Amino acid sequence: MAIETARIILFAAGAYLTIGVVVAAVFVIAGVDSIDHAAKGSPWSFRLLISPGAAALWPVILRRWIDAARKPHR
């Protein structure tokens, strides 16, 4: 693999993960309760534990979060 190709791949992966870290940080503070009622009042240790997964799967998380926000409050 050429060095430039490797740099592009790693830059893309880094950018994806940077966005993921930002989304995950906001999500575990303000979003997790809205997509899963069982997370309401959950401890910080739990929120910290799910944050690597939220950073890796941030497109899924973002979509679920937006869907939850669009649903009318019951």
Partner 1 sequence: MSVGYTWVQWNRHKRVYDAVMVAGAAAYIAAFVVVSRATWTADHALSDEILLLRALGSCAIVLLHLILCIGPLARLDARFLPLLYNRRHLGVMTFLIALTHGSLAVGYYHGFGVLNPLVSLLTSNTNFLSLTAFPFQVLGLGALIIMFLMAATSHDFWLRNLSASTWKRLHMLVYPAYVLLVAHVALGALQNGRGPSAWICLGLGVCLVVGLHLGGALRELRRDRGHPVVNPVEDWLDAGPAAGIPANRARTVCTRGGERIAVFRHDGKISAVTNVCAHQGGPLGEGKILDGCITCPWHGWQYRPGDGRSPPPFEEKITTYQVRIIGGRVQVNPRGLPPGTPVQPALCEESPDA
Gap between the Cα atoms of 22 and 30, Å rounded: 12
Indicate whether 12 belongs to the interface with partner 1 (CB under 8 A).
no
Indicate whether 48 belongs to the interface with partner 1 (CB under 8 A).
yes
Gap between the Cα atoms of 28 and 23, Å rounded: 9
Task: Please state the closest distance from residue 69 (CB atom) to partner 1, in A.
Answer: 15
Nearest CB to partner 1, comparing residues 48 and 69 = 48
Indicate whether 73 belongs to the interface with partner 1 (CB under 8 A).
no
Task: Please state the closest distance from residue 73 (CB atom) to partner 1, in A.
Answer: 19
Among 39, 27, 12, 11, smallest CA distance to 66 is for 27
